[in-house]
Amino acid sequence: MDKTVHNPDRYMSDLRQIISQGQKRIGFLIGAGAPMSIRINQKTKLIDPDGIPLIPGIVPLTKAVFESIEKKHKGFIDKIKKEMGEDVNIELALSRIRMLSSAIGSAEVFGYNAEKYKELADDICAAIAGIVNRSLPEGETPYRKLVSWVPLLVTVVSPSIVFCVPALTLATLLSS
C-alpha cells in the first residue's frame, strides 16, 4: 500500500503555477467556523484575543435562538428537545420543523399544524439572521487580509475569482 504525504510547499508551488498562468478560475470557500476565529470584546466591539467570537458556533447559536423564540413558542423548545434529545442543534431542529411543515398539513404534532411550523421556521430564521448579522470590527482581520490580497489577483492575474462567504458578504468586506 502506498503512503501519501501532504506537502504544503508542493501545494503552494502548484497554486503559484496556476495563478501565474491566469487561465484557471480560483474560488475561496470560507467555512462557517471562520468568523469564530475573530474574537471581539463584548463591550467595545474591538478585536480582543480573549473576547467572544464575532459569530457564535452552532452550540451557542442554538441556545441563543431557542432563548429568543421561547416566549412566542412557549414550551415548544422543551418538546423538541424531548423528541430530538437535549443536545439537538439548530440545524437539525430547523430541518425537522421544515419537514413537519411540509408534511402534516392540518394535522397537529406537538400542538402545531403545518402553518404554525412554517411560522416557527420563519421565526428561527429571523432569530439566526439577527444573531449572525455582524459587521467586522475595526482593525486587521483575516477577512480584510484576504480581501486586500484579492485585488492583486484580479488586476494582475484573472478577473474570475469567486467567493462564497457565509454571514459576511464580499460587499461588506470590501466596504470595511
172: amino acid identity, one letter: T
Q: What is the pLDDT of residue 148?
A: 75
Task: Identify the residue with better confidence: 21 or 123.
Answer: 123
- When mean pLDDT is compared across 40-44, 128-132, 163-167, the lowest value belongs to 163-167
CA 124, 126, 130 angle in degrees (round to 5)?
A: 115
SS (H, E, C) 13-73: HHHHHHHHHCCCCEEEECCCCHHHHCEECCCCCCECCCCEECCCCHHHHHHHHHHHHHCCC
Cell 423564540 sits on residue: 69
Q: What is the pLDDT of residues 119-155, one digit of tens each?
A: 999 999 999 999 988 888 888 888 788 777 665 554 4
pLDDT tens, 51-101? 999 899 999 999 999 999 999 998 888 888 888 998 899 999 999 999 999
- With cell 464580499, the residue in question is 170
